[in-house]
A and B are shown apart, each in its own frame.
Chain A
Amino acid sequence: MQKAIKVMPASVKKRVAPLSTLVVVLLGASALLQKQIDPTARLIHKGEQNLTTVSGGLNNEFMLLPLLGFREAAAGLLWVRCDEFFHSGDYDAILPLVRIITLLDPHAENVYVTGAWHLSYNFTDSSERSDRRYIAPSEALLDEGILNNPEIPDIKFEKGWQNFDKIKNFTEAETTLKDCIAGPRHDETGKKGSDDFPFAAPLKTLHLLAHTYEKQGRLPEALEEWTRARARTEKIRDEDKAANKPENYSNKQMWFAERHNYDEDMQRYHNRYTTVKHDAINPSNPPLPGVLWPTGPGISPQPWDVAFLPKVEIKRAKVFRISGRFNSADGARIDVRITDWNYKDRPLVDIKNSFHPNMAETILVDSCSVRKGKFDREMDMSKDPKMYSFSEPDYKVVLSYNPRTTSPHLTDRYGWSGEGMKDANPDHVYLDTRAPLLGTAYIAGQGATGPVWDGVTVPWAEHTQPIRMIKVTYKVSRRQIMGEEPITDKDIVPNSE
């Protein structure tokens, strides 16, 4: 049979060449256009992890969505799933989901904030004590969130809050909160359309910064911050009034709270410090009360002897009894820290693939309240073997009293740097001279270094009054913790960082 001959019209043959040329030219044009588009596309997808990184943890149905370009939809659905796990109490299931969601959608700020909160606060033992090993990954997650979302104040605020409330690192809290207030352009302005416009950060950031200053004993700066916050609230109320809007009671309440806090700080400043010797050089306008000069022989009042007498016993394997005497008013709390001997605080962690910390580490942080000069508390670490593995040979048990983290009425009594307290046993007095905890040199002659604040020429940042804490450190072995040998005062070792 003859093969069919393909006959193509001449007109069709004629146009193949020019059409092919046109295709090549248009392809070239599209490639050039793609090159123009690429930088902007890169910016949009900045922070998104390569799918191979993410896909390892995703089920098939969720894998399809990112492949088709629905990263955000996959992230949203996974977050809804997370919420269900949270409400059903399945906290362990949340961690890998949070990691995948933030890799899929690095701009889901709520996931960073909630995920970090979840890590720091919700992993607890049977006595509701937080698992401190999760704090480092929590901080790392927040740092990642801040890097991917510099415009969003909420993540910075969360980091500031965690350092204030959980970690009690007030210096880090101050740095983060100031950065939050300053905004990404360092001019305290936010983007138009943002919730806090024209400001970069919500009002609560100023409040928390003021409290952070209070904790560090920097009352003039705290007073300044309350003044700024009040001015901002007044501006909002005035604008509402000028626009004939009905009174916003939330703003009204905020204003009263700010005024109350300002007055309270002023009262504390006045009570704590006298007007002796500093009126002439007091820089504030109107003049604030002056600063107390150091006590010395013959000058009253003298520092109070807290006569700390601790006792650490093992009731049964992994069950501690922390008891003793502390000569103080009610409201004091003795901080207890039980860790591996070589435990490192705030280690560098790699959270690229998971948030899980080193599960072999042991750390417990708790406190005992002091009543009528005594404290007595049992700390059972036997019920949570996963959290307290006790896999190391030696452990550190630290009992301490920090005048900055204690109740305000005691801070007022003992001073922010413990100027008003002492212990007859000098080994119990510990000067915390780590750079982040250096205080303001209100008082000379109490372990301070550097110039004494004169209120005029010496700025706050140069003050170096370290915290005078009451601290006792025990070195105990695993055998002792298992109850095979007793813990005695012979196990007390010199205090260190």
Chain B
Amino acid sequence: MVPLAIARQTVREALRRRVMWIFLICGLFLIALGPVFGFLSPKDSQTVLRSLGLAAILLAGLFITIVTCIYLIPVEIERRTIYTILSKPVQRYEFVLGKFLGGFAVVFINIAAMGVVFLLMIRFQEGKVPPDMYKGVFLTFFQMMLLAALTIFFSTFATPVLNFFMSFGIFIVGNLSSVTESLTTSRVKATQIAGTIIHYLLPNFGNFNIQNTLIHPTQEITNPDVFIKQNILYALIYSAVLLILAVIIFDRREV
């Protein structure tokens, strides 16, 4: 119950942040522009709308998640409001979990808002919403959930600016999972070891990029539902790892 109370407060504070609204509005605007770009290339209007829409959700979601989550813990420490919270019978792990749940809820609200607009645009352009489109939004949400966990982890010991660059950097490296996977089979031993460490220890954000199969329906993967479940499980497990590490570090941190 304590984490939920902290989460509720976190959501209220996050939703008051103007920067989050700016990114959200930009994301919605980009999605709404999708049909206009399609007009420039009528034969590919469906492809352009889907690719732009999913990219807009991902891009806006990325910035919303990072910008929201980098401040969740440091701001409390800076304003010294954390003393008020921790002086009550609130465990540090409850605090961290509550902040994560709050950030998670904010991400959910934003992705859901953009997802609804995106699906409406698809409906407007194509006359119906293919079921696969929901999967794209769904996986993006879990990708952002993992990113939120990563940002919260860094926020337990890094300043917001450093956290921003570290989270962004790991997101980029994580998106190159096809590259890191190829490194694991390199003939050079050192590269192989480095590739294996990066590929299996760093969070793989690239797993969630299934835009190609959504944009080009002729591209199919066998057992797509199994693949999605695997990715959701991966996101949950890795988020748990990051949160546990955040708790361990925050427990030892002097505030």
In the complex, which residues of chain A have a beta carbon less than 8 angstroms from the beta carbon of B181? 38, 41-42
A27–B200 Cα distance when bound, in Å, is 8
Q: Are A33 and B55 in contact (CB under 8 A)?
A: no
In the complex, which residues of chain B have a beta carbon less than 8 angstroms from the beta carbon of A16? 248, 251
In the complex, which residues of chain B have a beta carbon less than 8 angstroms from the beta carbon of A152? 218
Q: Are B251 and A12 in contact (CB under 8 A)?
A: yes
A194–B220 Cα distance when bound, in Å, is 12
Q: How far is the CB of B169 from chain A (nearest CB, A)?
A: 11
Q: Are A69 and B206 in contact (CB under 8 A)?
A: yes
Closest chain B residue to A193 by CB distance?
A: B217
Q: Are B241 and A80 in contact (CB under 8 A)?
A: no
A232–B220 Cα distance when bound, in Å, is 27
In the complex, which residues of chain A have a beta carbon less than 8 angstroms from the beta carbon of B40? 80, 83-84
Contact size range, B: 35 or more
A317–B252 Cα distance when bound, in Å, is 87
Contact check: which of B47, B178, B248, B252 meets A41 at CB < 8 Å?
A: B178
In the complex, which residues of chain A have a beta carbon less than 8 angstroms from the beta carbon of B227? 37, 40
A467–B111 Cα distance when bound, in Å, is 66
Q: Are A30 and B241 in contact (CB under 8 A)?
A: yes
In the complex, which residues of chain B have a beta carbon less than 8 angstroms from the beta carbon of A77? 37, 52
Known: A30-B234, A108-B216. A23 touches B245 (CB 8 A): yes
Q: How far is the CB of A198 from chain B (nearest CB, A)?
A: 15
Q: Are B178 and A48 in contact (CB under 8 A)?
A: yes
In the complex, which residues of chain B have a beta carbon less than 8 angstroms from the beta carbon of A48? 178
B194-253 contacts to A, CB under 8 A, are: 199-201, 204-207, 209-213, 215-223, 227, 230-231, 233-234, 237-238, 240-241, 244-245, 247-248, 251-252
Q: Are A68 and B175 in contact (CB under 8 A)?
A: yes
Known: A41-B206, A107-B212. A67 touches B172 (CB 8 A): yes
A447–B79 Cα distance when bound, in Å, is 98
Q: Render A93-113 as a binary contact track against B, CB cut-off 8 A, 1 for contact.
A: 000000000000101111000
A474–B27 Cα distance when bound, in Å, is 66
The binding surface of chain B is classed by DSSP as helix
Question: Is B9 an interface position by the 8 A CB rule?
Answer: no
Q: Are A80 and B41 in contact (CB under 8 A)?
A: yes
Q: Render A13-30 as a binary contact track against B, CB cut-off 8 A, 1 for contact.
A: 001100110110011011
Q: Are A51 and B179 in contact (CB under 8 A)?
A: yes
Closest chain B residue to A40 by CB distance?
A: B227
Q: How far is the CB of A305 from chain B (nearest CB, A)?
A: 51
A71–B54 Cα distance when bound, in Å, is 11
Known: A69-B205, A70-B58, A191-B220. A34 touches B213 (CB 8 A): no
Q: Are A30 and B237 in contact (CB under 8 A)?
A: yes
Q: How far is the CB of A4 from chain B (nearest CB, A)?
A: 8
Q: Render B48-60 as a binary contact track against A, CB cut-off 8 A, 1 for contact.
A: 1001101100110
Q: How far is the CB of A320 from chain B (nearest CB, A)?
A: 40
Q: Are A65 and B55 in contact (CB under 8 A)?
A: yes
In the complex, which residues of chain A have a beta carbon less than 8 angstroms from the beta carbon of B210? 44
Q: Which of B219, B234, B245, B252 counts the most A-chain CB atoms under 10 A from its CB?
A: B219
Contact check: which of A19, A27, A42, A51 meets B247 at CB < 8 Å?
A: A19
Q: Are B220 and A73 in contact (CB under 8 A)?
A: no
Closest chain A residue to B234 by CB distance?
A: A33
Closest chain B residue to A107 by CB distance?
A: B216
Question: Is B177 an interface position by the 8 A CB rule?
Answer: yes
Q: How far is the CB of B36 from chain A (nearest CB, A)?
A: 10
Q: Are B51 and A75 in contact (CB under 8 A)?
A: yes
Closest chain B residue to A13 by CB distance?
A: B251
In the complex, which residues of chain A have a beta carbon less than 8 angstroms from the beta carbon of B18? none
Contact check: which of B175, B211, B238 meets A72 at CB < 8 Å?
A: B211
Contact check: which of B212, B216, B219, B237 meets A29 at CB < 8 Å?
A: B237
Contact check: which of A70, A110, A191 meets B43 at CB < 8 Å?
A: A110
Q: Render A211-232 as a binary contact track against B, CB cut-off 8 A, 1 for contact.
A: 0000000000000000000000
A-B pairs with beta carbons under 8 Å apart, 12 shown? A8-B251, A23-B241, A33-B234, A34-B234, A44-B212, A50-B179, A67-B172, A67-B176, A72-B211, A73-B54, A76-B47, A76-B48
Which 6 pairs across A and B sit closest by C-beta, in order of nearness? A73-B55, A31-B200, A69-B175, A107-B216, A72-B51, A76-B51
